Amino acid sequence: MLQIGPYKLPNRVALAPMAGVTDLPFRRLCSQMGAGLVVAEMISSNPQLRDSAKTLWRSRHDAEIQPRSVQIAGSEPAAMAEAAAYNVARGAQIIDINMGCPAKKVCNKWAGSALMQDEKLAIGIVEAVVDACAPRGVPVTLKMRSGWCAAARNALALARAAESAGVAMVAVHGRTREQGYGGEAEYDTVAAVKAALQVPVVANGDIDSPAKAAAVLARTGADALMIGRAAMGRPWIFREIAHYLTHGELLLPPPVREVQGWLTAHLHQHYTLYGEHTGVRSARKHIGWAVGTLPGGEAFRAAMNAIDDCRAQLLAVTDFFDGLADRHVHLPAANDRQTRLAA
């Protein structure tokens, strides 16, 4: 079992933090579907943004999901330390430092993966956040990339320094910031980090099936895996992988009616969190991911994107899945698909 500070997780499969994706309803869903750890969307360390609607949405937690892991992003040690303390006071039980986001709007502010270019600043942030969290008994984790670019893969050096500074876990996405999400993830960097550290190391990047999960663990020796894009529209991937790693056998994909049930419940929670106006629009991506590989999914997605009413959106989803069930459509098995990318 994976342990982060005082928290023993039920399995070795975690949901990666993804801006615009891993909100409270999605974290609930993935937790119910077998994720041993779910990490919230990154929250800016800028105190001026704390009262914004986006930050308030991202700061919502569920007492039943434990441990509650919150990722913070920023480029100033003092501000990051203060943000860590603020989020702990609001219920965070683990603080994760974002050193992996490749988005330009984040990197342009010297946050996210841009921090990997300045190792002194990066470790200064880690030290400040650990100092803020340690007296509160809250472990700090770090998520990074393999480096800024191919010529500067410095994840190993940063991971060693971060461990010395007191982080309780390190997750490594096997791509550089320069790659974004293109190309293929490499796992040699993850393996090197694992070999050098005593704290748990988590492998991330292109893990989209039980077989790939087992191969990545074997290749890297990592303590756990982190799933991001492959969970979008297929949240049961966590139970598929956890079952395969434990029992060595593949689970059958869920029936269409089960998928309809979790999607409907997810949409109700989504509308409750965001309200009618924002909820119906932000729900479109989740619906699109869920139906994207199903017969008629692309056409339904295009039609559904024109719906501006929650009730009409739910009715359209119900009609679509009723049609699939009537035709006895089955979902593809875990190893018969490609990684689903965000639209």
Residue 342: the pLDDT is 30
Predicted confidence at residue 337, as pLDDT, reads 47
**pLDDT of amino acid 278:** 94
pLDDT in tens, 137-190: 999 999 999 999 888 899 999 999 999 999 999 999 999 988 888 889 999 999
Q: Is 293 exposed, middle or buried (0-12, 13-18, 19+ CB in 10 A)?
A: middle
pTM: 0.92
State the 10-residue block means of pLDDT for the chain, 343 residues long.
93 95 95 96 85 78 88 95 95 95 76 91 97 98 94 95 98 92 93 98 97 97 97 96 95 93 96 94 95 93 93 97 91 59 29
- pLDDT value at position 154? 95
Q: What is the pLDDT of residue 340?
A: 37
Q: Which residues are catalytic?
A: 101
